[in-house]
A and B are shown apart, each in its own frame.
With several copies, the nearest count.
Chain A
């Protein structure tokens, strides 16, 4: 179509949320006194005014088809007050003003196949990313990994038996859109990119690709007359950062693209400052459709944490208290030379004390 016919956008930006807010929340905005947790999936917030808002939280597949979305709306009208929100972990929350509405709502959701839970000290919905369904650089799928794991963790989502909240994340490449988590299941490449030299010249802006490499392992080169790029395989840390700007630098490999598991990422400030996750297991096969090996390790870690941690200890607090050696002992996971950090600033991760649990 010719530009002229085109409609100029209204640059309205981020819409006002207040217009969609439940009236009781609007009325008591900023005036909440405390909350209780009557049962998994249910929150009772009490306002200074005495008003109450009851929240029922349910997990869904993150990739919603419109049928599912309409179903959720239907339930929201029949059993709730027509006001909902989605959490940052893509769970749906129904807010109602009367306790009486809670049970019918829960039943309706359960009958429709949604999972009520995910509150407080449960295993929260796994935050996931795009993967094979949509991304251009994924080493694995995200929706599939999450679905497979949630199938196995559903009881931990429906119940609150963990010492504290458990926030699990996944990422389908080392770029790590999923961010950090109490437990993170992330792609970890193990071999340098295979370069399709015929394509580099046309597809890649070579100087900027060279600039992307964290360890300066890429240099311009000539292969049968064509300008291309080559990788110093001694230096290469197989991170895949060169792949998005230069797809011919194929980092993904059905065999050598593995999964790694990290624990102890905690972003709340509660008890201790926000902490980064630490590597615990790697070399895990990237095994669709259900990734059983990765799930088994996650469940092992969760079981150990559940048995050994104290109330209110997040995974990082727990390991901080019992020490990493015992973490590896209790989980039976191997400790290798790869667990010793060698990235910048890593000296601070060495044990410069006599602190040893014996």
Chain B
């Protein structure tokens, strides 16, 4: 017979208010679930959480737990107050990779719920900040059973520890008019090329892929991904002048001037006195603003591809880093195109694995050794698109100038030759 419920006066406060309450959810598991194991787990979880609220401290500690054959994918949690709260004293999270783009059928969600009720706490998150389905709360033993079960019907663990992490991609081409790429194919091509590195942590630190279909970057890839892939286009923005006029009629000239023209980062748009919109596409940086404001009138061009940035991450330990452009533009149509992208990822991870210090992210390494050395390491040529502007400091030794200039001219010649060929 189940033991009495812990008092949770503070947590109870979180049952008030209109927003759905996670506390009410945990209480449902405690009070209404058929499985006593789950009732008890939920009760002790609430007890420990209430204790945290009262003392303003956390009581979980890490450890090592993994499933057979893998080294990572699980965030182990053992309670420091397990005596008071024995039934939730082992409360590990399984990080499971969702389908690219986070698409589900209700049937599949139910199937996952069934397995999780069988083996876990009944608490789950779609999704964590990296993008994993987080099945929160399993004992060491049950992690294996749960994994075995869902792995049979197509789900696999994501990353935890110094390894390639679960990737993320936006809804993109599945529903979005701004999409310039097949986000989900890029996502799976990249991360599934590294399953071994996902499951067996052996890198200097974590490595994350993120894919956005356009520069709106709905998955924050520049800020949060070691390897960011962003859809873009090379030709002109498609303008439907009739829709432009309709917009001007509806909103007035001043509105379009103040909200579209003057917001363009390169001032490359101009509204002719007859209300036709002119865009100097040469100078459009594909920021997306005008397309966002006038989605009916403006659309991305047809010659699509992607930009790749490397080195984004958070604060540890040199301060927040955004990614840096490494590939200004590449087409992603043929399988060869995709292979080139995968090779870039491999080159990057290999070089970083060899040259990164312990617990040093790729971006931190680039910062330490310098972008130029990194580029030489992965065999990528320098390109002015990699910088916002050339050097401001005269403090540099440039006695190799002539050879470097030669390289540039040769590359230009090759491109020209290729073009004319």
Is B one of A's binding partners?
yes
Does B175 lie within 8 Å of A354, measured CB to CB? no
Number of interface residues of A (CB under 8 A): 167
Q: Does A191 contact B399, Cβ atoms closer than 8 Å?
A: yes
**CA gap between A310 and B267 in the complex, in Å:** 11
Pick the contact of A13 from B179, B192, B401 — CB < 8 Å?
A: B192
Q: A residues 310-358 with Cβ under 8 Å of B?
A: 310-312, 317, 319, 321-328, 334-358
Contact B296 A34 (CB under 8 A): yes
Q: Is A119 an interface residue (CB 8 A)?
A: no
- Given the known inter-chain contacts A67-B28, A328-B384, A346-B393, please indicate yes or no for A283 contacting B286, CB distance below 8 A: no
Interface residue? A122 (CB, 8 A): no
**Stretch of B59-67, B271-279, B343-351 on the interface side:** B59-67
Task: Assess whether B367 is interfacial by the CB under 8 Å rule.
Answer: yes
Check if B175 sits within 8 Å of A17, measured CB to CB: no
> Quick check: B188 and A16 within 8 Å, CB to CB?
yes
Contacts of A74 in B (CB 8 A): 106
**Measured between C-beta atoms, what is the minimum distance from A64 to chain B in Å?**
5
**In whole angstroms, what is the CA distance A236 to B397 when docked?**
7
Q: Evaluate contact between B259 and A312: CB separation under 8 angstroms.
A: yes
9 closest A-B pairs by CB: A151-B17, A283-B401, A343-B393, A352-B322, A65-B25, A336-B404, A341-B391, A17-B99, A254-B56
Tell which of A96-104, A134-142, A220-228, A299-307 binds the partner. A134-142
Q: Which residues of B contact A6 (CB under 8 A)?
A: 68-69, 144
Contact of B263 with A312 in the complex, beta carbons under 8 Å: yes
A283 to B289, alpha carbons, bound, how many Å? Answer: 36
From A7, A87, A143, give the contact of B102 (CB < 8 A).
A87
- Inside 8 A of A256's CB, which chain B residues have their CB? 399
> B13, B52, B101, B151: which contacts A290 (Cβ < 8 A)?
B13
Complex contact B267–A11 (CB within 8 A): no
A49 within 8 A of B: no
Please tell me if the beta carbons of A239 and B394 are within 8 angstroms of each other in the complex: yes
In the complex, chain B residues 238-289 whose Cβ is within 8 Å of any chain A Cβ = 258-259, 263-268, 282-289
Given contacts A141-B53, A208-B358, A354-B222, contact A321 B401 (CB under 8 A): no
29 A-B contacts (beta carbon < 8 Å): A11-B156, A11-B199, A14-B99, A17-B101, A32-B173, A55-B175, A61-B20, A65-B22, A70-B113, A73-B106, A92-B126, A115-B19, A138-B58, A154-B18, A208-B359, A270-B288, A288-B10, A289-B10, A289-B11, A323-B384, A334-B409, A336-B405, A340-B372, A342-B370, A347-B321, A352-B325, A353-B215, A356-B286, A357-B282
Task: Report B151-201 residues with CB < 8 Å from chain A CB.
Answer: 151-152, 154-157, 166-168, 170-171, 173-177, 179, 182, 184, 187-188, 191-192, 195-196, 198-199
Please tell me if the beta carbons of A343 and B383 are within 8 angstroms of each other in the complex: no
Closest chain A residue to B52 by CB distance? A132
Cross-chain contact A14 with B191 (CB below 8 angstroms): yes
Which A156-192 residues sit within 8 Å CB-CB of chain B? 174-180, 186, 188, 190-191
What is the bound-complex CA distance between A335 and B324, given in angstroms? 18
Selected contact of A354 from candidates B20, B168, B215, B259, CB within 8 Å = B215
Contact B391 A65 (CB under 8 A): no
- 207-234 of chain A: CB within 8 A of chain B: 208, 211-215
**CB atoms of B156 and A9 under 8 A apart:** yes
Residues of chain A within 8 A of B223, CB atoms compared: 179-180, 265, 267, 274
Report the separation of the CA atoms of residues A92 and B216 in the bound assembly, to the nearest whole angstrom: 20
Contact A132 B216, beta carbon cutoff 8 Å: no
A21 at the interface (CB under 8 A from B): yes
What chain A residues lie within 8 Å of B148 (beta carbons)?
7
B residues near A273, Cβ cutoff 8 Å: 265
Say whether A15 faces chain B, with CB atoms less than 8 Å apart.
yes
Among A99-151, those with CB < 8 Å from B are 113-115, 127, 129, 131-138, 140-141, 143-144, 147-148, 150-151
Query: Which residue of A21, A88, A340, A353 is within 8 Å of B391 (Cβ)?
Result: A340
Is B107 located at the chain interface by the 8 A CB criterion? yes
Q: Provided the pairs A69-B113, A136-B62 are in contact, do residues A334 and B217 lie with their beta carbons within 8 angstroms?
A: no
Question: What is the CB-to-nearest-CB distance from B251 to chain A, in angstroms, rounded to a whole number?
Answer: 10
In the complex formed, the residue of A with least CB distance to B296 is: A34
A62 and B134 alpha carbons, distance in the complex (Å): 10
Q: How far is the CB of B71 from chain A (nearest CB, A)?
A: 12
Contacts A32-B177, A55-B175, A312-B289; A20 near B103 (Cβ below 8 A): yes
A277-B315 in contact given A84-B106, A354-B230, A356-B232 (Cβ < 8 Å): no
- B258 x A310 contact (CB < 8 A): yes
Instruction: Taking A151-B18, A271-B263, A339-B391 as given, write out 19 further A-B residue pairs in contact, using a Cβ cutoff of 8 Å, ordered by the A residue number.
Output: A13-B156, A30-B179, A34-B177, A45-B176, A63-B22, A67-B29, A114-B20, A133-B136, A137-B58, A190-B398, A237-B396, A247-B61, A270-B287, A317-B263, A325-B328, A326-B282, A340-B390, A346-B392, A356-B286
Give the residues from 268 to 327 in chain B that come closer than 8 angstroms, CB to CB, to chain A: 268, 282-289, 292-293, 295-296, 299, 307, 309, 314-325
* A249: interface (CB < 8 Å): no
B365 CB–A CB distance under 8 Å: no
Contact A343 B263 (CB under 8 A): no
Q: Are B177 and A13 in contact (CB under 8 A)?
A: no
A residues in contact with B26, CB < 8 Å: 63, 65
Chain A residue contacts of B146, Cβ below 8 A = none
The one of B105, B174, B387 in contact with A324, judged by C-beta atoms closer than 8 angstroms, is: B387
Distance of A44 Cα from B176 Cα, bound (Å): 10
Does A59 touch B at the CB level, under 8 Å? yes
Residues of the B chain whose Cβ atoms lie less than 8 Å from the Cβ of A274:
217, 222-223, 322
Cβ contact within 8 Å between A310 and B21: no
B147/A64 in contact, CB under 8 A: no
Residues from chain A with a CB closer than 8 A to the CB of B296 are 34
Binary contact track A60-100/B, C-beta < 8 Å → 1, others 0: 11111111111011101100001111111010110100000
Q: Are B19 and A150 touching (Cβ within 8 A)?
A: yes
CA distance A84 to B101 in the complex (A): 11
CB distance from B242 to the nearest CB of A (A): 13
| Distance A137 CA – B93 CA, assembled complex (angstroms) | 15
Tell me whether B233 and A353 are in contact (CB under 8 A): no
Measured CA separation A270–B26 after assembly (Å): 40
Which A residues are CB-close (under 8 A) to B29?
65-67
